[in-house]
Structure 1
């Protein structure tokens, strides 16, 4: 085992705890009391518990898939569309089954040493992509699967909905599903607004398919165990029934805001609509994750063009960033607000999960995540990326408690501590940052491989005639980059600006990094010797109003603006003539917006406006979204 003695010790402790519980590790005959025989085509029912009441008049309720005493009739097992046979050759079984074909010592070693074989391919509507597979493995280098193994009861309604969509949308969804069917990680690095909904729906379908296949495998094995116990009570149970993880949740979707969770709820329930499914606690979910009754969303109701489209999409609805919710999937129900250890899908913000983990000092519900989705990564970088890293550090670890787990049903690779090598991760972002690329490069360990889409950026449009100057500073190491940037700014760029009577007033200094912003702010406060004011993500409405007025009336010569402030507020700032970018913004549209602010004032000509951009070779991803991919390469090479 990779973790050596520590993993062995933890696992033996859990096994000993589990072995002391009735019905664990041993299966006496009494453990296999079958449910009451049900009529053909009826779902499984079970006794009412204090926490979950049955409602047989409204819907069929399925017994928890993790209880071995379930009895499923032959008619239910083989006759209906809801019990299609899961072939051992399909993508789910080959990757998440008992003996995954891609999991070997050689593939794990390659992943641990970051030894990947890379190839550039075209992935349909996803465009150009780099496919990476472990160099010492037999993993397929294909970026798409020839067989999209979606179950018919999900695929047929999906095809019906697709018939109402455009050809481009259908092709994009099919290409995404074909890529996900390979069980490789998928990182979409530039997801446009126009494709967000269809992308969510295709990924939600893949997640539901995963949950459904796992549940059916568990239920089939439950039936086998029940039949074996009836046939020969003294015989040992079948050995090949490993079908579970340490805990039930298998899908985790990380999101920035409650409104994002509402979007994903709609994507999931688009595949589980009535009468085939009933949604429990839907009203409560809509009230807690939507806006209060009678509230008006000014972003949605404003005239088109008042607010940028990406800002409206990000901040519409409920933007609380502290939440977590479990969703339990059964044969005919989608239950919202399910207990975390009894749910299949978790929708959460990184902050919400972190607070939960720190409060409970336990993250065992993340031990068996097989499908991870991180959506709107560009927004998550503007919140607190440390929360994302914190959550990722708890993924697929050995649990601290047994949680009444039947260890004889756990897949061997869970017991070996290899779950992280099989987890499929799906990352979605409007653009790449150093943080998101680092997550992809260093944290994802899928032995099936990973796919990262590429985009060739075109130069962004800016008002013609502006004096633009991209200023390079030398930097050998990324570790030294913040220090080198600050040194060049304070010793060369800023002194040159202060010598100019024109450029030393009406000047905005835009700072992308929060850490850099604090440093620059302290420098202006202590050493710059000029009048300035500040707009940061921590500014109150009163602070914002005072700062904007003082800058517009030239009472303050400099205005320091953090990128996070602009991300959250998106104000138009009047009175500027000179814009200094301490570093290129992450969001390319911010560059255009700041260069357009001087023209909010009457009588301003392009020749009156100057722009200075400080950059190093480590700003390549930011630069290419502004000056284009070729332009960024040219700037860095020429410098």
Structure 2
């Protein structure tokens, strides 16, 4: 019985009623299964050998689980996952972080913990790591737990050995970073890593993928081990074991979200790094590389360009296939990865938020997300430059009760799934180069792991700008985040822009950088209404439009140039002719601030005194201001604004 008084049986009957209307669509419908088998909760201790005989005929017709011998390759049922590896018995399993967190009776899943999480009454402290730095740890319970010293203590031997062998060639700082991340993940707490640099991104993916593969292997090992126990009990006409709740509603357990197809290739490489030939095989690998790489005959201008032609972070972000609509299932067996497996037969799903949303809306089904136990969001900073609503859409469909049964053996489902508490146990791993209000909101409000969560703490130094350049930070009063866009627009149009137009120097050769796409459209409409001379560079501009706008601005035919942050994110053009810079808001990418301030000096004989710069900000621009002005200076500026 669950903590809130709702029994798993009540949840189960509700689910059966919902799915009954669609049961005729399946070859083997749920209603066709003998109720005595499906509704058996194994709660009666007086089960006799005779009852086992009566069930034997049923069991021969119904798979013991979705991961039965019929469903898996032969090698998937041999030895390792059935319990031979590591020799874990029930006592050892009780100390395994996997069983403590995802077992039938999770240690921390209590009514008090759920209430604490829902009301955000976390107990917070800091923990120190070597390369991760300080973590701000939030727990729904009082604890003095220290980070695990042995980062590989919970990793199965099949993954640990090749991982250790491969690490011998890595630099010390990379090994320490990987140890820190594994240590933070080993307790199954959520991790919000806010300073994932592109040079450390792949080694981070490798340890996160190791954690995910280890999780999938342990889950399957429990399932196959219980299959053997049930088969053995039936064969020997003995009492059926009761402690076999070992699965969710559907098979997919790991979801990895990313922005581009090229990112999916990097994640596949990370997964494959733990599967050394000839022990492991990758099925459909050539098809994956064909569909997720560049089309045949295409030349990647970013990858082939001379060093320095494009910023290094831009090359790392956009080289390869940058299509943002895709989803693919991966089935992990004992000796292989099967790519392009059907979603309901997959262990891992790689997808972009857009691709997953299109799939859900087209099929009108998202049951494959009902049992996700580990969710990874990679390159979250890039996802905020796409459409954050797609991420929110996916998050809203995670760990919901399914609409259909999908031939599930409900006697094997963990009770907390039936109680609808899966979201309180899902481990979320969010990797980003920097924080935004959207990502912090996700961390604060959508991550509800009762084992706790942690985010990295960073202190920023001011970015480098051309020496001698005068920077003016202009604040405006705003006491409500809801009113902030309107207050910003009003201040800009009534205070800042009129002052610029009155100045003979600033009323021409002025570039206005606008972070928000909505603000960009609003300012553009205002300029058009005021019949000002301006050109536009947005993410929707064609190559011809871009060339025309840049030339008109450089030649002085257009006095103002409106630049959206998304345009600069995707294009990274060097723009000449700028003498005055106005930041309608601080950029999300601190490096954009440095780049734009360097553009005036692309032209010859330009002195710092010839250039003006204004940055419009409010107290709600804290994350952006911290990255460009530095933590200490930004604190002072924001404090003055809030007074």
Q: Which residue of 1 aligns with 2:370?
A: 367
Per the TM alignment, residue 618 of structure 1 is displaced from its structure 2 partner at its CA by 0.7
2:541 matches 1:539: yes
Q: Which residue of 2 aligns with 1:168?
A: 173
Aligned partner (choices 175, 198, 206) of residue 201 of structure 1: 206
TM-score w.r.t. structure 1 length?
0.91
**Contact persistence 2:510–2:559 (CA under 8 A):** yes
**Contact persistence 1:582–1:613 (CA under 8 A):** yes
Q: Which moved more, 1:181-190 or 1:2-11?
A: 2-11
Q: Which residue of 2 aligns with 1:142?
A: 146
Distance 2:82 2:362 in 1: 42
Q: Which residue of 2 aligns with 1:40?
A: none
Superposed CA deviations along residues 303-356 of structure 1, whole A, max 9, x for unmatched, are: 111111111111010000000000000111100000000000000000001001
Aligned partner (choices 626, 630, 634) of residue 628 of structure 1: 630
SS across alignment from 2:498:
helix
2:393 matches 1:390: yes
**Contact persistence 1:581–1:614 (CA under 8 A):** yes
- How does 1:292-441 map onto structure 2 within 5 Å? 292-441=295-444
Distance 2:14 2:119 in 1: 30
2:480 matches 1:477: yes
**Contact persistence 1:469–1:613 (CA under 8 A):** yes
Q: Which residue of 2 aligns with 1:591?
A: 593
Q: Which residue of 1 aligns with 2:51?
A: none
Per the TM alignment, residue 272 of structure 1 is displaced from its structure 2 partner at its CA by 1.3
Taking structure 1 as reference, are residues 461 and 419 closer, same or farther at Cα in structure 2, changes over 3 Å only? same
Distance 1:251 1:273 in 2: 21
Q: Which moved more, 1:26-35 or 1:381-390?
A: 26-35
- How does 1:574-589 map onto structure 2 within 5 Å? 574-589=576-591
SS across alignment from 1:129:
strand
Taking structure 1 as reference, are residues 240 and 19 closer, same or farther at Cα in structure 2, changes over 3 Å only? farther
2:625 matches 1:611: no
Aligned partner (choices 569, 580, 605) of residue 571 of structure 2: 569
- How does 1:430-509 map onto structure 2 within 5 Å? 430-509=433-512
Unaligned runs of 5+ in 1: 36-43, 55-59, 64-71
Per the TM alignment, residue 424 of structure 1 is displaced from its structure 2 partner at its CA by 0.4
Taking structure 1 as reference, are residues 240 and 2 closer, same or farther at Cα in structure 2, changes over 3 Å only? closer
Per the TM alignment, residue 79 of structure 1 is displaced from its structure 2 partner at its CA by 4.9
Distance 2:68 2:353 in 1: 36
TM-score w.r.t. structure 2 length?
0.90
Taking structure 1 as reference, are residues 338 and 140 closer, same or farther at Cα in structure 2, changes over 3 Å only? farther
Taking structure 1 as reference, are residues 8 and 549 closer, same or farther at Cα in structure 2, changes over 3 Å only? farther
Q: Which residue of 1 aligns with 2:189?
A: 184
Distance 1:5 1:240 in 2: 20
Q: Which residue of 1 aligns with 2:105?
A: 99
**Contact persistence 1:121–1:131 (CA under 8 A):** yes
Q: Which residue of 2 aligns with 1:12?
A: 13
Aligned partner (choices 77, 92, 96) of residue 90 of structure 1: 96
SS across alignment from 2:76:
coil
Q: Which residue of 1 aligns with 2:132?
A: 126
Per the TM alignment, residue 369 of structure 1 is displaced from its structure 2 partner at its CA by 0.4
Distance 2:366 2:522 in 1: 35
Q: Which residue of 1 aligns with 2:25?
A: none
Taking structure 1 as reference, are residues 79 and 129 closer, same or farther at Cα in structure 2, changes over 3 Å only? closer
Per the TM alignment, residue 31 of structure 1 is displaced from its structure 2 partner at its CA by 4.3
Q: Which residue of 2 aligns with 1:21?
A: 33
**Contact persistence 2:508–2:560 (CA under 8 A):** yes
Per the TM alignment, residue 297 of structure 1 is displaced from its structure 2 partner at its CA by 1.1
Distance 1:285 1:28 in 2: 44
**Contact persistence 1:247–1:405 (CA under 8 A):** yes
Distance 2:144 2:247 in 1: 26
**Contact persistence 1:7–1:417 (CA under 8 A):** no
Distance 2:628 2:545 in 1: 31
Distance 2:379 2:568 in 1: 17
Per the TM alignment, residue 95 of structure 1 is displaced from its structure 2 partner at its CA by 0.4
Distance 1:577 1:6 in 2: 69
**Contact persistence 1:598–1:609 (CA under 8 A):** yes
2:117 matches 1:111: yes
Taking structure 1 as reference, are residues 104 and 6 closer, same or farther at Cα in structure 2, changes over 3 Å only? closer
Q: How many residues matched?
A: 607
Per the TM alignment, residue 30 of structure 1 is displaced from its structure 2 partner at its CA by 2.6
Per the TM alignment, residue 9 of structure 1 is displaced from its structure 2 partner at its CA by 7.1
Distance 1:481 1:270 in 2: 47
Per the TM alignment, residue 637 of structure 1 is displaced from its structure 2 partner at its CA by 2.0
Per the TM alignment, residue 87 of structure 1 is displaced from its structure 2 partner at its CA by 2.2
Superposed CA deviations along residues 453-482 of structure 1, whole A, max 9, x for unmatched, are: 011000000011122110000100101110
Taking structure 1 as reference, are residues 554 and 343 closer, same or farther at Cα in structure 2, changes over 3 Å only? same
Per the TM alignment, residue 20 of structure 1 is displaced from its structure 2 partner at its CA by 4.1
**Contact persistence 1:189–1:429 (CA under 8 A):** yes
Root-mean-square deviation over aligned CA pairs: 2.3
Distance 2:258 2:307 in 1: 26
SS across alignment from 2:95:
coil
Per the TM alignment, residue 188 of structure 1 is displaced from its structure 2 partner at its CA by 0.5
Superposed CA deviations along residues 96-154 of structure 1, whole A, max 9, x for unmatched, are: 001111110000000001111111221221001200001xx355653446563001110
Q: Which residue of 2 aligns with 1:218?
A: 223
**Contact persistence 2:11–2:419 (CA under 8 A):** no
Taking structure 1 as reference, are residues 408 and 490 closer, same or farther at Cα in structure 2, changes over 3 Å only? same
